[in-house]
């Protein structure tokens, strides 16, 4: 039997929008200088929360980021895009420009899209009239009145703003992507899983180029309420900028954020033929799940360990060959401890670990791609971004957390891992820099 080697997949375009800024330079400057983007929530007032810290994207104007040929269509369709969709579309515009995907370089049926997306919360004012009509004086809800009189009050195209697959739909329409298309909704594991699936699609020869990554916005009253109901919300009482504290002894919960990270990835020889800039190579992907009977994260981080060992195996890497791990670092006591235990079993204390949510808050379905791009920019500059607000690393987390200043590194290989609160995990291995002609 003839074994066909897997096609190699490289990263050729990056688009990044986060609370640290818009574009690669704004984000990397903040990471290099240790400037976080978490502050007191400014988008709206919400009472009854122990902490009003949030990672908001400031001065975001999606029309200004559009490619000239897309500007008219984007302007027309913005009213049908929730905040999450706008972030994704704008970051994709940045990635397409950065990847030099000029018209005619890629056959439309050879470029696809695979994105991570979350549960998009509706603007409350859009549903309030219908709900108010069906709400009785005693506070009970009349479903018959809602169906008869309430629903006609809702904008007919209302749902188009909130379907998770609309991130990919708008991007694929603007860029004439006719190849494989998918949306993955796995919470914080979504964008890594989407990049992993896009990686496999190119490896199998089903596409030459994929637009991939993820976006999300949890800057919404319903998101704050959900966090409080699930008891993961941050309880920090000090300065909002210090609220998210991955692996720190005083960590106390999740800070919501928003943002988008979009990558252009493609088959190596295809990228070379069109003279694309190559940021690095995707070496491996793996996913796993804690599968806990209590529907939470396993205290020992078994799913995280499985994903790490799986991605090392897929990338043909030994643990000591990894330069650093960009961890999930949610900022909750139990999740960070479980994650640290998994890393300790695989790496001991020999591999540096960083967690970047102190800068951005939890960008949910966008966090994997945002953090992957951040590590890529760091390793490109010979630095591992530090874990912001980890002033006193928890001694129970027996790992080497990068604290204080960015740490110098000459190792171009890193693992990027994210997980959600149900224990689903997705991990990617990346090598930054020039790509040689020898198969991995």
Tens of pLDDT along 267-302?
999 999 999 999 999 999 999 998 777 667 899 999
At residue 11, the pLDDT reads 98
Tens of pLDDT along 336-350?
999 999 999 999 999
pTM: 0.95
Confidence tier at 3 by pLDDT (50, 70, 90): low
**Distance of alpha carbon 101 from alpha carbon 108, whole angstroms:** 11
Tens of pLDDT along 236-265?
999 999 999 999 999 999 999 999 999 999
Domains of the chain: 9-121+162-432 (3.40.47.10), 126-154 (no CATH)
Weakest-pLDDT range from 153-157, 283-287, 389-393: 153-157
* Number of DSSP helices (H) and strands (E) in the chain, helices first: 13, 16
3-class DSSP state for residue 367? helix
At residue 230, the pLDDT reads 86
Instruction: Name the most confidently modeled range: 93-107, 284-298, 309-323.
Output: 309-323
At residue 1, the pLDDT reads 53
Please provide the average confidence, as pLDDT, over all residues in the chain: 94
Evaluate if residue 102 carries a pLDDT over 90. Answer: no
Tens of pLDDT along 18-29?
999 999 999 999
Share of the chain above pLDDT 70, in %: 98
At residue 228, the pLDDT reads 86
**Distance of alpha carbon 375 from alpha carbon 327, whole angstroms:** 10
**Distance of alpha carbon 11 from alpha carbon 271, whole angstroms:** 9
CB 115 within 8 A of CB 184: yes
Evaluate if residue 435 carries a pLDDT over 90. Answer: no
Confidence tier at 103 by pLDDT (50, 70, 90): confident
Average pLDDT estimate for 71-81: 87
Evaluate if residue 114 carries a pLDDT over 90. Answer: yes
At residue 437, the pLDDT reads 57
**Distance of alpha carbon 68 from alpha carbon 6, whole angstroms:** 37
Confidence tier at 156 by pLDDT (50, 70, 90): confident
Evaluate if residue 77 carries a pLDDT over 90. Answer: no
Average pLDDT estimate for 82-101: 96
In the beta sheet, which residues pair with residue 281?
Answer: 10, 431
3-class DSSP state for residue 41? coil
CB 193 within 8 A of CB 112: no
3-class DSSP state for residue 222? helix
């Amino acid at each position: 039997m003839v074994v066909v080697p897997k096609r190699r997949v490289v990263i050729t375009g990056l688009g990044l929008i986060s609370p640290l800024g818009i574009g690669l330079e704004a984000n990397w400057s903040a990471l290099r200088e240790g400037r976080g983007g978490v502050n007191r929530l400014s988008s709206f007032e919400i009472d009854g929360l122990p902490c009003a810290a949030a990672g908001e994207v400031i001065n975001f104007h999606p029309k200004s980021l559009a490619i000239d040929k897309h500007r008219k269509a984007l302007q027309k369709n913005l009213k049908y895009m929730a905040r999450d969709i706008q972030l994704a579309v704008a970051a994709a515009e940045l990635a397409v420009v950065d990847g030099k995907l000029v018209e005619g370089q890629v056959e439309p049926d050879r470029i696809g899209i695979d994105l991570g997306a979350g549960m998009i919360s509706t603007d409350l004012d859009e549903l309030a009239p219908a709900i108010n009509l069906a709400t009785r004086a005693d506070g009970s809800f009349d479903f018959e009145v809602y169906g008869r009189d309430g629903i006609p009050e809702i904008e007919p195209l209302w749902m188009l703003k909130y379907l998770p697959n609309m991130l990919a739909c708008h991007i694929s329409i603007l860029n004439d992507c006719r190849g494989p298309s998918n949306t993955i909704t796995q919470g914080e594991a979504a964008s890594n899983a989407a990049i992993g699936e896009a990686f496999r699609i190119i490896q199998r020869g089903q596409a030459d180029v994929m637009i991939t990554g993820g976006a999300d916005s949890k800057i919404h009253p319903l998101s704050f309420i959900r966090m409080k109901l699930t008891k993961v919300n941050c309880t920090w009482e000090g300065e909002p900028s210090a609220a998210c504290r991955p692996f720190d002894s005083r960590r106390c919960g999740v800070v919501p954020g928003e943002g988008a990270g979009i990558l252009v990835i493609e088959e190596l020889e295809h990228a070379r033929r069109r003279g694309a800039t190559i940021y690095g190579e995707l070496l491996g992907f793996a996913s796993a799940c804690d599968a806990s009977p209590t529907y939470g994260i396993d205290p020992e981080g078994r799913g995280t360990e499985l994903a790490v060992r799986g991605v090392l195996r897929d990338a043909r890497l030994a643990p000591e060959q990894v330069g650093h791990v960009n961890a999930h670092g949610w900022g909750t006591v139990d999740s960070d401890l479980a994650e640290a235990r998994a890393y300790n079993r695989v790496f001991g204390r020999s591999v540096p670990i960083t967690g970047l949510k102190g800068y951005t808050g939890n960008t949910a379905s966008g966090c994997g791609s945002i953090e992957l791009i951040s590590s890529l920019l760091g390793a490109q500059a010979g630095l591992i971004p530090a874990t912001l607000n980890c002033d006193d690393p928890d001694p129970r987390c027996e790992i080497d957390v990068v604290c204080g200043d960015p740490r110098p590194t000459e190792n171009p290989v890193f693992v990027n891992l994210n997980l959600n609160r149900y224990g689903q995990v997705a991990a990617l291995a990346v090598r930054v820099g020039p790509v040689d002609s020898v198969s991995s």
